Amino acid sequence: MKYLNSFLLLALLAVLFSCGEEDSDDIMSSDTIIGEWQLVALDYMGSSTTINPYGPPVSSVFEGVARDVNTTITFNADNTFVSLGSYIIDLEADVLGYTIEQAFPFEGFLGSGTWELDGTTMTTTNDTNQQTSVIELENFSDNSWNTNYRTELSTIQQGFTVNQVIDGNFFFEK
């Protein structure tokens, strides 16, 4: 369970700073994104394979849905952003024929940083870790937008290699 918790936290962090793959046909200006946006839904699904140097690989599939979402992100005219709030991810994972359900609380969302917008492609840089993310804004209107993402990553956790593929969606409203 300790490895699963570490995996899930890493997976969610990767998801939060991932690139979108689908393009929107909407044309927008920087003025349209300025303001406070509420995260209204977050869901994802994926798979994980843990490579154990002492035994066979262990594969799992998982799904996560956010609840108790109280998270905002504010894009300012000076090209800075601040996100605040919390949510809980209810995760269900199928591992070795067993279903594991667990809730993971998250605070702070993306933190703060700077942003640039080019069409429907937003680039953000986090103030704390200087990590840059590219996000495709989809289905954008004056009052809502979403982003779909796919993340593939490989990490080493206590000598085990964990390969993950995660697909998900964030939905925002003004």
The per-residue pLDDT for 6 is: 38
What is the pLDDT of the chain when averaged over all its residues?
83
Is pLDDT at 157 greater than 80 in this prediction?
Answer: yes
pLDDT-derived band at 149, boundaries 50, 70, 90: confident
pTM: 0.71
The per-residue pLDDT for 159 is: 87
Residues 85, 74 contacting (CB under 8 angstroms): no
For residues 148 and 135, give the distance between their C-alpha atoms in angstroms, rounded to a whole number: 9
Residues 118, 104 contacting (CB under 8 angstroms): no
pLDDT digits (tens, 9 = 90+) for 22-67: 444 445 678 889 999 999 999 989 999 998 888 899 999 999 999 9
For residues 160 and 170, give the distance between their C-alpha atoms in angstroms, rounded to a whole number: 30
Query: Could you tell me which residue, 99 or 132, shows the higher pLDDT?
Result: 99
The per-residue pLDDT for 135 is: 85
134-137 contacts at long range (C-beta below 8 A, 24 or more positions apart): 134/19, 134/20, 135/19, 135/20, 136/19, 136/20, 136/21, 136/22, 136/23, 136/24, 137/24, 137/26, 137/28, 137/33
